[in-house]
Amino acid sequence: MKSKISSKGQITVPAEVRYELGLRPGMAVEFELREGGVFLRKGGSGLHPVDRVYGLIQLEKPVDELLEEMRGPRPDEPMGEE
C-alpha cells in the first residue's frame, strides 16, 4: 500500500490499515524509527478509562435505587416512606 506526503507533512493512512487497527479521526498514533523505515503503531485513545466503558453496563434499575438498596434510605428521608 502506498500513500503520499502532503506539503504540510500529512499522510493518508489507507482505509484497510485504519480498519485493521481500529483508527478513528483524532486518534493518536505513534511513529517508531527503525532501520530502513518507520513503524506506525496505534497510540493511546486519549480518553479516560471511564470514558471508554461509559454506557456499556446495562442496569436493571436506576443507580439511585441500587444505591438506596445498598446503603439504606437517605438520612433526610423518614424510614419506610417514599
Residue 23, exposed/middle/buried by CB under 10 A (0-12, 13-18, 19+)?
A: middle
Dist. CA 49–CA 38, nearest whole Å: 29
What pLDDT digit, counting tens, does each position of 12-59 carry? 999 998 998 888 888 888 889 999 999 988 876 567 778 878 888 888
Q: Comparing 74 with 80, which gets the higher pLDDT?
A: 74
Dmax over CA atoms of the chain, in Å, equals 74
Identify the pLDDT of residue 45: 58
Q: Is the separation of the CB atoms in 76 and 69 below 8 Å?
A: no
| pTM, entire model | 0.46
Question: Cα Rg for the chain, rounded, in angstroms?
Answer: 24
